[in-house]
Structure 1
Amino acid sequence: MHVADAIAQILKAEGVKYLFAYPVNHLIEAAAKVDIRTIIVRQERIGLHMADAVSRLTSGEEIGVFCMQHGPGAENAFGGVAQAYGDSSPILVLPMGYPRAINQVQPNFNSALNYRHVTKSCEQLTVPEALPAAMRRAFSAVRNGRPRPALLEIPSDLIHAELPVPLIYQPVRKTRYGPDPEDVAIVADVLLEAQRPLIYAGQGIHYAKAWAELQELAELLEAPVTTTLNGKSAFPENHPLALGCANRSHPKPVYDFLHEADLIFGIGCSFSITSFGVKIPPGKTVVHATLDPADIQKDVPADYTLVGDARLTLQALVSAIRERLVSQRLGRAEALARRIREGKEAWLAEWMPKLTSDEKPLSPYRVIWDLMHTVDVANTIITHDAGSPRDQLAPFWESITPLSYIGWGKTTQLGYGLGLAMGAKLVHPEKLCINVWGDAAIGFTGMDFETAVRERIPILSILLNNFAMAIEIPIMPVSTAKYGSTNITGHYADMARAFGAYGERITEPDQIVPAIRRGIEKTREGVPALLEFITAQETAVSIY
């Protein structure tokens, strides 16, 4: 058996359904022979983003895999792997490498050397007989502990080499670990002693599938809940205790309750300092429960810590708290829910003029508001793009089912949302999958809308076109005035039609909802749809 065929057999055994790729990599043919669907993209980064979505939308149960050619293919792919590393997504990357005789020689790009800082596991196959163990290590890395990319480089002189022994491979099982029971007991007491506790939930909830346990703890403690951007949809945002997402832009109750809290309980989060999240106010008692010990005391000092899987941690805490409660109610739920509701109503009232604006060019907030009130939110998966789409969408989109919002942003590469939406549609063909992006983002990855057409992936793409990089206008006034540095242009509905998709440009407020309905209907017919809304150069965001 050749190395390429052995890799394909291992991928099949590990439950891999798709191989995202850009030629030339001989794994493409080998995967197709064993009925792994091969999806060829227009640029490497999009294939990695699609693999990323497969892993995210299955909570890491299915691993997204990408392969590419050596040299320029491996060089081009770097950004997509770095994005997955920054946002903790478990993907497997299988680049070809230069032949072993020259793979250490300048200027040949060596993936095993150059990807080490953006992968959890990174190695190069050196002899055919090492393949099963190397693949086992890679899958163990992506299935266990903190989710991040693993890479195995296959030198081109090995890809068709014969395995000297029969292939023997056992798929890797996921192993969970939980917190120290003594620490759980201490934290349970601390949580019950707090007068104004707040729960700050990250995407560890998604990977642990701890949605029910999170809700149980919140209701038991009668504590408000906010999520990180990556953790958005981990807690239903129509729940009486939901504050909304703690993105850079956020509902005002997030700010108010964070600052009022006497204790902040971070669960399934890293507490990483990022421009795309709120700052943890000083002077709070901080309890940090996370899967990765490296996050403990990294950016935010913690008074109490728990290390382990989020579901195991929450189950242990719920059990310990129930044992300590004299009554099943602490008595603050009704008043707390009322304050949250009133705070949200007051905040929405501030923004309602933009959310319901009849102005032209269209308000991007009106587009988002009408979109949310037109789709079946519970059966929709949506993701933003970098910049204005992220900051305009995240506060106002109310996610009510787990894994219905793909949040990201610690390293904010433009154009990321397109691949995420396509990957989401592959995982959930029964759901409406939407990416919301701007005219800057489509400039990076727009050609891969053709991939959606060619691969029959009927997503709904919402493009907010204001003919500018609007978020940069306030910080680039001179270069814009002199040289038009923030100005960009394009007719992207025409581009979509040229690819064979449904494309429509919308300029009138009363046509927003009808256009969305037409776009949804096209996706039901199996046709990708791009709706191009001509919007104002909006720079106001919900930051407090």
Structure 2
Amino acid sequence: MKGAAAIAEILKREGVEFLVGYPVNPIIEAAAEADIRTIIVRQERTGLHMADGYSRLSSGRRVGVFAMQHGPGSENAFGGVAQAYADSVPIVVLPAGFPRHLTNIPPNFNSFLNYRHVTKWIEQVTLASTIPDVMRRAFTQVRNGRPRPVLVETPRDVFTEEVPEPLDYVPPMRTRTAPDPQAVSEVARVLIEAKRPVLYAGQGIHYAQAWSELRELAELLAIPVTTSLQGKSAFPENHPLSLGSGGRSIPQAVHHFLQNADVIFGIGCSFSTTNYGIAMPRGKVFIHATLDPADLNKDIRADYALIGDAQLTLQALIAEVKDRLGSPRQEQAQQVAAEIKKIKTEWLNKWMPKLTSDEVPLSPYRVLWDLMHTVDRSNTIITHDAGSPRDQLSPFWETVTPLSYIGWGKSTQLGYGLGLIMGAKLAEPEKLCINVMGDAAIGFTGMDFETAVRERIPILTILLNNFSMAIEIPIMQVATEKYRSTDISGNYADMAKAFGGYGERITQPSEIIPAIKRGIQKTQEGIPALLEFITAKEITYSVFK
């Protein structure tokens, strides 16, 4: 068995159904021979984003895999791997490498050397006979501990070397760790004694599939819940104890309860400081429950810590709290829910003029509000893009089921959402999969809408086109006045049609909902749809200082 065929066989044994890639890499052909569907993209970064989205939608149980060419392919792919690393997403990256006699000679790009800071595990295959061992180590790392990319670089000449048969490879196990019981007991005491605790849930809840446990603890202690962008949809946002979610822009209830909290309990989160995440107030007692001890005291000083899988951590806490508390705090839950409802209602009333605006050009808030009230949210997966679409969507979109919102923002590459939602559609083909992007973002990855058409991945793209990088206007006033540096243009509905998809440009408020329904119908017919809404240069966001 040749090296490339051995890698393909290992992918098959690991349950890999799709290999996303860009030629030339011998693994692509070997995978096709092994009956693994190969999906070719228009650029490497989008392909990695697809693998990323695919992994997220199964909580990492099914891992996205991407293969690319040595040299320029590996160079082009760097941003996609860096994004997955920043957002802690488990993917397997399989670049080809220069032949061994050239791999360390400048200017040849060496992935093994250059990707070290954006991967959890990285290895170069030096002998074909070691391929089973190398791949076993890679899949062990991607399936265990903190989820992040792993990379295996295979020099071109290794692909054609023989690997001993029968192939000695068994997929590695998945393991979990639980927190110190003594620490659990102490944290349970702190939570019970807290006067105004807040529960802050991150994407560790998704990877641990700890949604029911999160809800049970919140209801047991009557604790209001908010989430990070990555953790959004971990807790149903129509629940009376939900504060909503956010990143740079947030619902008012999130701000109010965090500012007035005495204890903030972060579970399955890193508490990383970022401009695109919730800013944690100072002077609070922080409980940090995380899978990765490297997160502790990195950005927020932890007063108490629990290290382990989020589901096991919550199960241990629930048992301890029940022993101490007995029955759920129903009266307190009613009081907290009433306070949340009052603040949410006041906040939404302030925003209703924008959410229901009849202005032309269209209010992007009206487009997103009508979208939310048109789709079946229980059967929909949605993601934002960087910039205004993220800040306009995340506070107002109310999630009702787990893994129905792909939130991101530790790194904020424009165009990320298109590949994410294509990967999500591969993982959940029966669901309506929507990405919301602006006219800046589509300039980075829009060519891969053609990939969605060609590969029969019927997504719905909501494009907010204001012919501008509006979010940059306040900080580029002179450049805009002198050189129109924030102006951009294009007819993206026509672009979608030229690629063989469905495209429609919408300019009137009365046409928003009918157009959305037509777009959904096209996706149900197996045709990717792009709805281009001509919007105002809106730069007002739900931000609190």
TM-score, structure 2 length as denominator?
A: 0.99
Are 1:47 and 2:47 an aligned pair? yes
Distance 2:42 2:191 in 1: 51
Letter in 2 for 1:94: L
Instruction: Report SS of the residue matched to 2:42.
Output: coil
Letter in 2 for 1:504: E
Q: Specify the alignment match of 1:82 in structure 2.
A: 82
Q: Specify the alignment match of 2:162 in structure 1.
A: 162
Distance 1:281 1:537 in 2: 31
Q: Deviations over 1:270-295 (max 9, x none)?
A: 00000001211111110000000000
Letter in 1 for 2:476: M
Q: Which runs of 4+ in 1 moved over 6 A?
A: none
Q: Specify the alignment match of 1:183 in structure 2.
A: 183
> Pairwise mapping of residues 134-173 of structure 1 onto structure 2 (< 5 A)?
134-173=134-173
Q: Deviations over 1:92-135 (max 9, x none)?
A: 00000000001000000000000000000011000011111100
Q: Deviations over 1:458-494 (max 9, x none)?
A: 0000000000001101110000000000000000000
Distance 1:317 1:191 in 2: 10
> Pairwise mapping of residues 340-419 of structure 1 onto structure 2 (< 5 A)?
340-419=340-419
Distance 1:244 1:79 in 2: 30
Distance 1:50 1:327 in 2: 45
Instruction: Report SS of the residue matched to 2:283.
Output: coil
Q: Specify the alignment match of 2:247 in structure 1.
A: 247
Instruction: Report SS of the residue matched to 1:440.
Output: coil
**Alignment coverage as a number of residue pairs:** 544
Distance 1:303 1:164 in 2: 54
Letter in 1 for 2:61: E
Instruction: Report SS of the residue matched to 2:159.
Output: coil
Distance 2:397 2:48 in 1: 26
Q: Specify the alignment match of 1:228 in structure 2.
A: 228
Letter in 2 for 1:30: A
Distance 2:129 2:465 in 1: 53
Distance 2:228 2:254 in 1: 11
The answer on whether the counterparts of 2:221 and 2:328 sit within 8 Å (CA) in structure 1 is no
Q: Offset at 1:450?
A: 0.1
Q: Offset at 1:263?
A: 0.2
Distance 2:116 2:221 in 1: 42
Q: Specify the alignment match of 2:112 in structure 1.
A: 112
The answer on whether the counterparts of 2:233 and 2:399 sit within 8 Å (CA) in structure 1 is yes
Which consecutive residues of structure 1, in runs of 5 or more, have no partner in the other structure?
Answer: none
Q: Specify the alignment match of 1:192 in structure 2.
A: 192
Q: Offset at 1:33?
A: 1.0
The answer on whether the counterparts of 1:270 and 1:295 sit within 8 Å (CA) in structure 2 is yes
Q: Specify the alignment match of 1:314 in structure 2.
A: 314
Q: Specify the alignment match of 2:286 in structure 1.
A: 286
Are 1:485 and 2:485 an aligned pair? yes
Q: Specify the alignment match of 1:454 in structure 2.
A: 454
Distance 2:526 2:155 in 1: 39
> Pairwise mapping of residues 507-518 of structure 1 onto structure 2 (< 5 A)?
507-518=507-518
The answer on whether the counterparts of 1:246 and 1:278 sit within 8 Å (CA) in structure 2 is yes
Question: Over the residues paired in the alignment, what is the CA RMSD in angstroms?
Answer: 0.7
Identity %: 69
Distance 1:237 1:165 in 2: 53
Q: Offset at 1:330?
A: 6.1
Letter in 2 for 1:59: S
Q: Specify the alignment match of 1:329 in structure 2.
A: 329
Q: Specify the alignment match of 1:303 in structure 2.
A: 303
Q: Specify the alignment match of 1:263 in structure 2.
A: 263
Instruction: Report SS of the residue matched to 1:332.
Output: helix
Q: Offset at 1:327?
A: 4.1
Give the 3 Å change call, closer, same or farther, for CA 120–342 of structure 1 in structure 2: same
Distance 1:217 1:170 in 2: 38
Distance 1:120 1:327 in 2: 43
Q: Offset at 1:173?
A: 1.3
Which consecutive residues of structure 2, in runs of 5 or more, have no partner in the other structure?
Answer: none
The answer on whether the counterparts of 1:462 and 1:531 sit within 8 Å (CA) in structure 2 is yes
The answer on whether the counterparts of 1:125 and 1:155 sit within 8 Å (CA) in structure 2 is yes
Distance 2:234 2:276 in 1: 18
Q: Offset at 1:328?
A: 3.3
Letter in 2 for 1:483: Y
Letter in 2 for 1:17: E
> Pairwise mapping of residues 460-539 of structure 1 onto structure 2 (< 5 A)?
460-539=460-539
Distance 1:33 1:327 in 2: 58
Instruction: Report SS of the residue matched to 1:88.
Output: coil
